[in-house]
Structure 1
Amino acid sequence: MPTPLILKFDDIRAEMLPLVGGKAANLGVLTTAGFPVPPGLCVTTEAYRRVTEQAGLDDVLDALAVTRADDVKALNELAARARALVLSAPVPGDIAEAVRRSAHGPVAVRSSATAEDLPYASFAGQQDTYLNVVGEEAVLDAVRRCWASLWTDRAVAYRAAGGIDPRAVRLAVVVQEMVQSEIAGVMFTANPVTGRRREAVIDASPGLGEAVVSGAVNPDHFVVDVATGRITERRLGDKRLAVRSLSGGGVERVETAVEGACVTDAQIRALAELGDRVEEHYGSPQDTEWAIDPGGALWLTQSRPITTLYPIPRHSASERPDGMRIYFCFTVAQGLYRPITPMGMSAFRVLSSSVADLVGTPVADRLEGAPQFAEAGGRMFLDATGIMRSRVGRALFPRLLDVMEARSATVLRGLAGEPRFSMTQRSVRPALRRLVRNAARFRIPSRAVRALLDPASAHRRADRLRAALRVRLASPVDASSLQRLDRVEQILGTRAIPLLPEIFPGAAAGFAMLGLAYRLLGERARPGELQTVLRGLPHNVTTEMDLALWHLAERIRADDGAVSLLLGTPAAELAGRFHAGSLPGPVQKGLAGFLEVYGVRAVAEIDLGVPRWSEDPTHIIGVLANYLRLEDPALAPDALFARGAAEATAMIRTLGARAGGVRGRAVRFALGRTRALAGLRELPKFIVITVLAAMRAELRTIGADLTARGLLDSPGDIFSLTLGEVRTALAAVSGQSASAGTAPPYPVTLRALVSERREESARELRRRHVPRVLLSDGTEPEAVATAVPVDGALTGTPASAGSVTGTARVVLDPVGAHLEPGEILVCPSTDPGWTPLFLTAGGLVMEMGGANSHGAVVAREYGIPAVVGVARASEHIVTGQRITVDGTSGTVVTG
């Protein structure tokens, strides 16, 4: 049966998207479901295919496939060539005749691309629409122009930014009866600004909806609580312009003067009720267009998913808490914006079950994780509702975030004042009992006291723990894949988390001494002076790593051939040569020694699914090359570190003298112990990363087994699965059955599941905004973007004292990033994988974090001014811009 050229809306089904495109598919679905859609039909993608096959687009498509998304000039030139070719292509007679037969009365001719109105990308307004088209030849011409509009500059750029294959898109065309509307507009069935679900947002204006959609008019604006029908917000626009149809075809823009609202309250509620039915039909919030004709009839002219809403965090199948919930994004607080792999998420579920054991609420199924564990968009969220509704949690959790993620702390304190999150656990006794029990179990008080009396003992203990951990994590040689999987789940579920209290007391004692000094000094300490004490801290595993890499660069600098090789060869090629053992001696040996100690680390290292530097040293080699470009000895990182340590020692003497007497001696003792112990702060995370790296190696071995059995294409594919799915697969191939309740059956083949997960991850990687705090109705409390103040200063949390003016370098991903010495690093967040860049940075501006977050700690130790928690810094600041960072006041001045 030949592929149809024309399909009526009644004959279109959702699964026909490749044939009719997104817009027509949705209109067909709405028509079949009985919604008030103006009748129409679709000129299918088969017509576009036959026309463009003659257009000679192949060369343009080949060029587009290899053109970078940021090469706007080249994309525009290619788009223009494609449009010209499509417009000049002849239209076969049967297609032209089919289109002419569709021209009955005034119609709207609208593009319907196959990459349009999708659940993850709306592509709204990227192709063209022609309104009030009258006559057969006019309709045929409008259809041709819609075909060509698949190659508008904006559409081509949008697809390039979204990673859409230019050969994968085709265009259908909707020909739909015109609604000569008296009033029209758009309606979101969820609030696109705050994210709140079941809150309709309606914009309305006289005339055709084009005026509202194109932004040519200030419409009336209404917000409706869908559940009650209550209009919670109304803001009337001036509505000075309307788009109206001309009698002979086409439209005109006319000035209007409409007093009051252009729609009645009854019409607003009817719209909200219609939107609610549409959302219920699709099962997700919708972006709709609507019109009211002269007779008062309400028409739905378009519906597509709202693609900008962040998904609501979901718990495991067995945990569906009631009532409004507060979700705190744990991964963003850890400096990770990118989505976590499914295996990385699965590992954290098991780790969370170990945390639940520590606090006295063991879980039945470790693979599901703690009840408070939730995920959305590939990020981990903590259900903080119980914490914020208890007296102890409300007092302590925001204070902890003050030094880790200050903006989240502010948001949570704001929520604490709302009646719906009123305190329900007023007694401190349950929390106190858990605290005393764990303090006794891990001998935390005695270890903290011993660390204060003898800091060297704390460091010896840490060294012994690291050495013993490497022995314990050594992989067994002859274990089966099921035995290896058992070992992974056991170590993650019972052994990893209890290691942390072994290290915690020393670091905690160090920061307790900093707090004591702060109280002893009071107003005697000026802003930024106590931060100076934290510069050049010894015993910090992350700064030791960065300096070890710098010293390797210094050794390589003595070999001119090695320097030329590193500066003139792509890092990925050098990584391949390293694994082949063919790099020059100083580089090969030095890099091997560095990776022997720090190869467990990576950018986004808390994700077990991410390759470690020992597997792929491309990033580290790129950083080495960057270090070799630093020629000013005064800016050498080891010199800066030593200078920071000297400044810290001098500051301790100054503050002690300023306090004087017994108080001064107490200040010097406290700050001395701070310097001796606070560097241990980074070690607990390094311990966890070491465990994750070892478990990753075990899982890769299992992945190799599944690959050999033909279930996966490569060992690394295992990280797109979960622990439960792997257990099910292994049980199946070994003739066993998975343990009941621990491993859900996978519904499709492993290869298909891996492919689907990778597509999901690729989409989430393009998400630019991840909320810090989210409510279970979708509301993001910090939803309104922070505006740049009138004086141009951005504000955040002071993190490292001092001021610097320099050139900004906005970096969203450190892998392959090139930072010129002295440039100011501007980034969303950081983890230890970023810190090698700090060594040549002149300053730091970070969207996330607080005064004791990872980036802030390392910036202080290197003595570079830093401000963290700066809202949308990577959007307000552009690379090459001159900015001034004041790490004492917490301001960033642009321009």
Structure 2
Amino acid sequence: MSTIFFADAIEGDKEVGSKALHLMKMKKQGFPIPNGFVIRTDAFKQFIEENEIDWQGQHVKENIMKGHMPQAIEKELIDAFHETQAYFDAVAVRSSSGAEDLAGGSFAGQYETFLNVKTEQELTEKVKACWASAFAARVQQYSEQMKVDLGQFSMGVVVQGLVKSEVSGVIFSQNPVTNHPDELMINASYGLGEAIVSGLVTPDTYTVNKFTFHANKQKGFKEMKIVSDSEGTKEIETTEEEQNQFCLSDDEIKTLTELTQRIEGFYGYPVDLEFAIQQGHVYILQARPITTVPKTNNDLSAFQKSIELTREDRKQFWLLLDTAFPEVASPLFTSFLSAFTDGMNKASTDLKSPNRPQMKAKVYRHHVYTQPVMKRKPSQNQIQEHQAMMKDLYPSLTKRMYRMFEETLFPMYKRIDDHTHRELTLNEARSFMDELEDIYAKAYYLHFDIVMPQLALISELEDMYENLTGQPGQHVHDLLTGVMNKSLETDSRLGQLALQVRENPELHKIFNGHDALQLEKVLNETKTGKAFLDDVQTFLNGYGYRTTKAHDFIGETWVENPLYALGLIQNFVNDHYDFDKAFQHLTEQRKQKFDRVMEEAVDGELKETFRQYYAWGLDASVIRDDHHFYIDEMLDAKCRLFLLKVGELLRDHYVISDREDIFYLYLDELKKLLENPANATSKIAARKQAYTKDEQAVVPQYFGTPPKGKGQEIEKYAGPIGTDESNNDRTIGGLPASSGTYSGTVKVIKRIDEFSKLKKGEILVCKTTTPTWTILFQNAKAVITDSGGILSHAAIIAREFHIPAVVGVQVATKTLKDGDVVTVNGNNGVVTIENE
């Protein structure tokens, strides 16, 4: 048989050429390939022999075009053509060489394509023209460049039903500009695809995230389009309306993205596709490997690959851990992720957690993802054993925490400080890196060993409260406010410094007359100002070990730069905020609420048990903020200062050009460079570029499929999975976290160094909050966050300050901008955009 239909393809048939083989494979897999057939390469050989053409001689092309088609081949060709015409009134004829799509090079675009072929005679001529294209000068030149011997290959021809497309284009399943595997690029324009392939038009360009389907769109001129004509094709100018709008809808972009992922998954490597859309139906016309994509992660060590979320990993359920790691994380910081997960896993075992949860954490585009795994369903005995153990701990959770700090944490911090404040050799720095790993492991074990019993107590309190009052258990958090903790202490000390300013005319004049960026310089010019800066430094020595970037070594600590504290003090001065009065009011409200609950509750064992557990819970309510202050913030801050010292050492040995470049090295790299210094500046430059790009990247909230029956549990802590489907131009939704409504002006705060932007009465919009952000809640009148559930920090603190909050909105920081006027409804979780 000289011709074979796509549906009859034999796997691995080498007599059809690369292009045809790809189409046949995809057709058999059910992909939307227009019907067609292939003229096998042996027909070309028979044609050459029967016409006695010397393919190595002169005028090969001309001789092929003059040659006659062997009768048997011609009959098969015409019969197949008529069968195809039962579905399409015209066909496209394309070359399909065995030399196409070789490893290291592609002959795509070097051969011929003919569109809108309608007659037998025209078909025969176009088939010969495809054969002749194997001997075109450009093919010969390209083969020499690619060092390919064309003599070992023959030419097949694809005859495919012509899709008279309204829109067509090309898709690269891996971004050809950045080579990022989770982005694809679509070039699309009106009419038949030849206009794009031949470079006749400037198409629309869509860079699409494969998982979120978010598309960055760039409008092309789309100057003309190629359409079918009575004879062949013709070029016509596009209308002004066509030129001024995108040719693909969002639904079409999503359909093309999903289809491309399926095809890429089928092949197992990046592909470039040609597509056509006719009357809403998408067709794939060609597929070939992308031969110019470099291998990914080929410079990563085994250790570095172990913390990267691979393509295989992303087939499973992995959840974006933005409640704990709200920003992109540096390579060096992610090198310590195992301390976080191992600490949680060991603590859950030691505390006899009934489900024995085991956590994994990996990184995708510098964003941290987690895969919580419940090992088994607990037995009743295991539940009772855990509850008995927890009940023994509940009466002294806070004392237990501070005993751990004194015995374990603070001595480790002294070790870090000792190494930070003395000159180090390369060997000493290398040796202490191992100790730093151990410090992180111990600190995060303490973190979970402290937090998990408190969470268990809160969970029991929620259940008791619901049974006692008939109200949702989350409302018990309203009864756990107004207890002094390290976050509130920070606010109190800042408030006292602001009071000093207000009571001193000289200081008051400086703070009223200068921008926050100028304050330190101006204060240093007077005796009174210098004395005040000394007071600020005293404050920072006690409360300044926190980085401006949550959970990372990147970002200054407050103790390094007084700007952050001075900016907050200036806000307190301007707002006349009285912390002590506000805190006293909060404490009184909490006491009144508890008394009211007790008065209304029915006397009995449950009421008395709740009273006891509540006393323990109130005492332990400081744990959330205090452990965060001493572990989550202070650990990273102190390690940053030590690592900057090591960075200076590497800079002096010409390994890096700036001390902060150390944070773009992985831990295993850092250790090796301390042992054998070598220039790493080019690697650092590439890492910085990728890091900066990923700061702006839109990443999915999760990969894979959420575990059945765990949705509510995940939502409680991490927020909704997926954006609210009811979102539109005027409303966006999340979880109602703190009741009430408020209309006002939005201020988007992305980092700690932007805290001073928020003015009294504005609505705080951010990705998430940590205890450091508590300072902002005294000015904010409502809160909207991208991530988090009803037990997130933002939700709990909003309830403490009695301001409406909607959390887990996911798109808040992308949708809203400074100055937007919105209404925050903390009762139903809806944010209404009133005026942009």
TM-score, normalization by structure 1: 0.57
Structure 2 residue identity aligned to 1:339: V
Would the aligned equivalents of 1:627 and 1:840 in 2 still touch at CA under 8 Å?
no
What is the deviation of 1:756?
1.4
1:837 aligned counterpart, secondary structure: helix
Match of 1:713 in 2: 657
Distance 2:284 2:329 in 1: 48
Match of 2:322 in 1: 332
From 717, 724, 735, give the equivalent of 1:797: 735
Distance 2:781 2:271 in 1: 45
Match of 1:507 in 2: 454
- More deviation in 600-609 or 721-730? 600-609
| 2:386 aligned with 1:447 | no
Structure 2 residue identity aligned to 1:497: Y
Match of 1:678 in 2: 621
What is the deviation of 1:182?
4.0
CA distance 1:702–1:291, shift in 2 (3 Å): same
What is the deviation of 1:724?
1.2
From 534, 557, 564, give the equivalent of 1:619: 564
CA distance 1:191–1:651, shift in 2 (3 Å): farther
| 2:666 aligned with 1:722 | yes
Distance 1:586 1:287 in 2: 69
Match of 2:760 in 1: 821
What is the deviation of 1:188?
4.3
Would the aligned equivalents of 1:444 and 1:505 in 2 still touch at CA under 8 Å?
no
CA distance 1:815–1:215, shift in 2 (3 Å): same
Distance 1:352 1:527 in 2: 29
CA distance 1:359–1:288, shift in 2 (3 Å): farther
Distance 1:189 1:812 in 2: 33
Q: What are the Cα deviations for residues 737-789 of structure 1, in whole angstroms up to 9, with x where unaligned? A: xxxxxxxxxxx83111221111111111222x232211399xxx999754555
What is the deviation of 1:378?
0.8
What is the deviation of 1:612?
1.4
CA distance 1:656–1:315, shift in 2 (3 Å): farther
Structure 1 residue identity aligned to 2:696: R
CA distance 1:557–1:303, shift in 2 (3 Å): farther
Distance 1:275 1:673 in 2: 54
Would the aligned equivalents of 1:508 and 1:678 in 2 still touch at CA under 8 Å?
no
Would the aligned equivalents of 2:225 and 2:236 in 1 still touch at CA under 8 Å?
no
Would the aligned equivalents of 1:330 and 1:382 in 2 still touch at CA under 8 Å?
yes
Structure 1 residue identity aligned to 2:703: L
Gaps of 5+ in 2: 1-99, 114-161, 205-209, 211-223, 243-254, 294-299, 351-357, 712-719
1:475 aligned counterpart, secondary structure: helix
Distance 1:457 1:783 in 2: 36
Structure 1 residue identity aligned to 2:107: G
2:761 aligned counterpart, secondary structure: coil
Structure 2 residue identity aligned to 1:344: F
Q: What are the Cα deviations for residues 158-187 of structure 1, in whole angstroms up to 9, with x where unaligned? A: xxxxxxxxxxxxxxxxxxxxxx99435135
| 2:684 aligned with 1:754 | yes
Q: Percent identity?
A: 18
Match of 1:229 in 2: none
| 2:583 aligned with 1:641 | yes
Match of 1:228 in 2: none
What is the deviation of 1:539?
3.8
What is the deviation of 1:584?
0.9
Give the structure with higher Rg (CA).
2
What is the deviation of 1:668?
3.9
Q: What are the Cα deviations for residues 583-617 of structure 1, in whole angstroms up to 9, with x where unaligned? A: 81453123212211222112323112332111233
Structure 1 residue identity aligned to 2:699: V
Match of 1:67 in 2: none
From 790, 804, 820, give the equivalent of 1:851: 790
What is the deviation of 1:29?
11
Would the aligned equivalents of 1:541 and 1:682 in 2 still touch at CA under 8 Å?
yes
CA distance 1:287–1:342, shift in 2 (3 Å): farther
Match of 2:598 in 1: 656
Match of 1:343 in 2: 332
What is the deviation of 1:841?
0.8
Distance 1:508 1:541 in 2: 19
CA distance 1:290–1:572, shift in 2 (3 Å): farther
CA distance 1:708–1:680, shift in 2 (3 Å): same
Aligned counterparts, 1:110-189, within 5 A = 182-183=164-165, 184-186=167-169, 188=171
From 546, 549, 574, give the equivalent of 1:629: 574
Would the aligned equivalents of 2:746 and 2:820 in 1 still touch at CA under 8 Å?
yes
What is the deviation of 1:891?
3.0
- More deviation in 487-496 or 588-597? 487-496
Distance 2:761 2:583 in 1: 15
Aligned counterparts, 1:303-342, within 5 A = 316-317=304-305, 325-329=315-319, 331-334=321-324, 336=326, 338-342=327-331
What is the deviation of 1:654?
0.6
Match of 1:413 in 2: none
Match of 1:403 in 2: none
What is the deviation of 1:526?
6.9
CA distance 1:884–1:712, shift in 2 (3 Å): same
Match of 1:542 in 2: 487
Match of 1:5 in 2: none
Distance 1:811 1:371 in 2: 30
Distance 1:583 1:750 in 2: 47
Distance 1:318 1:784 in 2: 27
Aligned counterparts, 1:286-301, within 5 A = none
What is the deviation of 1:657?
0.7
Match of 1:86 in 2: none
From 527, 532, 551, give the equivalent of 1:587: 532
Match of 1:743 in 2: none
Would the aligned equivalents of 1:575 and 1:616 in 2 still touch at CA under 8 Å?
no
Gaps of 5+ in 1: 1-26, 41-179, 217-222, 224-240, 257-267, 307-312, 362-369, 393-426, 734-747
Match of 1:373 in 2: 361
Aligned counterparts, 1:384-463, within 5 A = 384=372, 387=373, 390-392=375-377, 446-451=392-397
Q: What are the Cα deviations for residues 810-849 of structure 1, in whole angstroms up to 9, with x where unaligned? A: 3334423512211111222223443322221111011111
Structure 2 residue identity aligned to 1:342: P
| 2:448 aligned with 1:518 | no
Structure 1 residue identity aligned to 2:323: A
1:374 aligned counterpart, secondary structure: strand
CA-based RMSD of the aligned residues comes to: 5.3
CA distance 1:255–1:851, shift in 2 (3 Å): closer
What is the deviation of 1:355?
4.8
Match of 2:805 in 1: 866
Would the aligned equivalents of 1:211 and 1:242 in 2 still touch at CA under 8 Å?
no
Match of 1:774 in 2: 703
1:588 aligned counterpart, secondary structure: helix
CA distance 1:457–1:832, shift in 2 (3 Å): closer
Structure 1 residue identity aligned to 2:704: L
Structure 2 residue identity aligned to 1:651: K
Would the aligned equivalents of 1:619 and 1:815 in 2 still touch at CA under 8 Å?
yes
Would the aligned equivalents of 1:286 and 1:304 in 2 still touch at CA under 8 Å?
no
Match of 2:443 in 1: 496
Would the aligned equivalents of 1:608 and 1:693 in 2 still touch at CA under 8 Å?
yes
CA distance 1:717–1:458, shift in 2 (3 Å): closer
Would the aligned equivalents of 2:477 and 2:796 in 1 still touch at CA under 8 Å?
no
2:809 aligned counterpart, secondary structure: coil
What is the deviation of 1:629?
2.0
1:807 aligned counterpart, secondary structure: strand
Question: Size of the alignment, in residue pairs?
Answer: 607
What is the deviation of 1:706?
1.4
Would the aligned equivalents of 1:827 and 1:846 in 2 still touch at CA under 8 Å?
yes
Distance 1:770 1:558 in 2: 49
Distance 1:754 1:726 in 2: 12
Distance 2:277 2:824 in 1: 51
CA distance 1:287–1:516, shift in 2 (3 Å): same
Distance 1:837 1:691 in 2: 23
Distance 2:691 2:183 in 1: 27
Match of 1:98 in 2: none
CA distance 1:372–1:535, shift in 2 (3 Å): closer
From 813, 822, 825, give the equivalent of 1:886: 825
Distance 1:513 1:357 in 2: 22
Q: What are the Cα deviations for residues 545-582 of structure 1, in whole angstroms up to 9, with x where unaligned? A: 23322332222222233234334444344457789998
1:806 aligned counterpart, secondary structure: strand
